[in-house]
């Protein structure tokens, strides 16, 4: 991998990665719909709206690998999800294919699987159970990735990311926390491991409360260094201040599940 494109450069995760990935590859092009406030003079940045295929074709030109973090990162109105995460994601894969890009690492989300109960440990071979329009868009992105891998030979890795941050923020995040450095490890496996065809990994650190069987990532050499348990007392103290959420507390997707929930059966 000589040249990498990373979309979503101005977002929370992108901002962390711009620091953590510095120097990892000979050349990294960063992109987003707006310029990051803290862009450094030595960072290559190209603005692009992912819903515009011609603009996406420009940012993928000449790269060997794409890390696709861009799009809308929480639940939103259908039109927003459609443009940013459905059309935008399709455009990234299609442009990558047309440009002869070898690999794509797609930032999927735990919300593609959010309606699995917290009592169930899930792996990567189960039906998707999205908890939101946002989660539907992530399941869509995984399907697009599988298609471009199987039909056109792109090497695709989907990371079902939990919650990236310095520490787990509450009880749910004790199960799904992802230390930023562990995310970099997963991205590097997607960009570099020679046996990648189409893979799904959970984006979680070594969390004692995990709901996810991440043996597929470990099979590719993933060795997470973060342990959510080191922050248990702080996370539980933060949880104690939150109002009860009977639906959200039952399912893995938490508040994304209870939002707009109106099942009466
Ligand atoms: C996500 O997928 C979101 O991008 C992030 O903002 C968090 O809400 C995270 O999931 C989470 O589940 O905590």
Centre of ligand 1 from the C-alpha of residue 2, in Å: 30
- Report the C-alpha gap between 55 and 32 in whole angstroms: 11
Looking at the predicted structure, is the pLDDT value of residue 78 above 90?
yes
Looking at the predicted structure, is the pLDDT value of residue 265 above 90?
no
* Per-residue pLDDT band at 70 (split at 50, 70, 90): very high
Which of 13, 74, 202 to mutate to test ligand 1, by most ligand atoms within 8 A of the CB atom? 74
DSSP state of 5: E
- Of 113, 197, 205, 105, nearest to 159 by C-alpha is 105
Which of 70, 71, 81, 111 to mutate to test ligand 1, by most ligand atoms within 8 A of the CB atom? 111
Mean pLDDT of 10-18: 98
Strand partners, 159: 107, 201
Mean pLDDT of 22-35: 98
- Report the C-alpha gap between 125 and 122 in whole angstroms: 8
pLDDT digits (tens, 9 = 90+) for 143-157: 999 999 999 999 999
Can you tell me which residue has the tokens 């997607």?
190
Of 134, 148, 222, 231, which one is the catalytic site residue? 134
Q: For the chain, first and last CA: distance in Å?
A: 52
Looking at the predicted structure, is the pLDDT value of residue 185 above 90?
yes
Q: Is 74 in the pocket of ligand 1 (CB under 6 A)?
A: yes
Q: Give the whole-number percent of the chain exceeding pLDDT 70.
A: 100
DSSP string, 64-117: SEEEE--S--S---HHHHIIIIIIHHHHHHHHHHHTT--EEEEEEEGGGSTTSB
Q: Is 12 in the pocket of ligand 1 (CB under 6 A)?
A: no
* Per-residue pLDDT band at 106 (split at 50, 70, 90): very high
Listed in sequence order, the residues at least 6 apart from 32 whose beta carbon sits closer than 8 Å to its beta carbon are 7, 8, 9, 10, 11, 14, 45, 47, 48, 70
Centre of ligand 1 from the C-alpha of residue 162, in Å: 6
- Report the C-alpha gap between 140 and 97 in whole angstroms: 17
DSSP string, 117-146: BTTS-B-SSS-----SHHHHHHHHHHHHHH
Element holding 27 (H helix, E strand) = strand 27-32
Mean pLDDT of 125-154: 99
Neighbours of 74 (CB within 10 A): 13
Confidence at residue 18, expressed as pLDDT on a 0 to 100 scale? 98
Mean pLDDT of 104-125: 98
Centre of ligand 1 from the C-alpha of residue 5, in Å: 22
- Report the C-alpha gap between 254 and 117 in whole angstroms: 10
Displacement of CA 188 from its chain's centroid (Å): 14
3-7 and 65-68 beta bridge pairing = parallel
Q: Is 84 in the pocket of ligand 1 (CB under 6 A)?
A: no
Six-digit token string for 218: 């470990």
Can you tell me which residue has the tokens 């440009």?
99
Whose CA is closest to atom 11 on ligand 1? 163
Whose CA is closest to atom 8 on ligand 1? 74
Centre of ligand 1 from the C-alpha of residue 60, in Å: 26
Six-digit token string for 95: 């442009």
Q: Is 163 in the pocket of ligand 1 (CB under 6 A)?
A: yes
Mean pLDDT of the chain: 98
Task: Spell 189-213 as b/e; 16+ CB within 10 A means b.
Answer: bbbeeeebebbbbbbbbbbebbbbe
Six-digit token string for 107: 């930032």
- Report the C-alpha gap between 188 and 186 in whole angstroms: 5
* Per-residue pLDDT band at 5 (split at 50, 70, 90): very high
At residue 174, φ and ψ (nearest 5 deg) are: -60, -30
Which of 8, 84, 109 to mutate to test ligand 1, by most ligand atoms within 8 A of the CB atom? 109
């Amino acid at each position: 991998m000589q040249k990498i494109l990373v979309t979503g450069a101005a977002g929370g995760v992108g901002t962390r990665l711009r620091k953590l990935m510095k120097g990892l590859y000979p050349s990294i092009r960063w992109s987003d719909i707006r310029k990051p406030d803290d862009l450094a003079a030595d960072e290559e940045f190209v603005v692009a709206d992912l819903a515009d295929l011609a603009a996406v074709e420009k940012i993928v030109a000449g790269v060997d690998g794409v890390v696709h973090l861009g799009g809308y990162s929480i639940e939103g109105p259908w039109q927003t999800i459609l443009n940013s995460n459905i059309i935008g994601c399709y455009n990234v894969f299609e442009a990558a294919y047309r440009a002869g890009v070898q690999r794509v690492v797609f930032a999927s989300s735990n919300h593609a699987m959010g309606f699995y109960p917290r009592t169930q440990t899930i792996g990567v071979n189960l039906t998707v159970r999205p908890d939101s329009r946002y989660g539907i868009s992530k399941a869509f992105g995984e399907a697009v990735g599988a298609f471009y891998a199987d039909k056109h030979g792109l090497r695709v890795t989907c990371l079902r990311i939990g919650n990236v941050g310095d520490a787990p923020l509450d009880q749910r995040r004790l199960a799904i926390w992802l230390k930023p450095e562990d995310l970099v490890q997963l991205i590097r496996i997607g960009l570099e491991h020679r046996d990648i065809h189409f893979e799904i990994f959970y984006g979680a650190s070594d969390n004692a409360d995990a709901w996810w069987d991440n043996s597929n990532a470990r099979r590719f050499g993933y060795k997470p260094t973060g342990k959510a348990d080191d922050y248990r007392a702080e996370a539980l103290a933060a949880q104690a201040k939150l109002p009860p959420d009977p639906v959200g507390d039952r399912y893995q997707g938490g508040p994304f599940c209870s939002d707009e929930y109106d099942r009466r059966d």
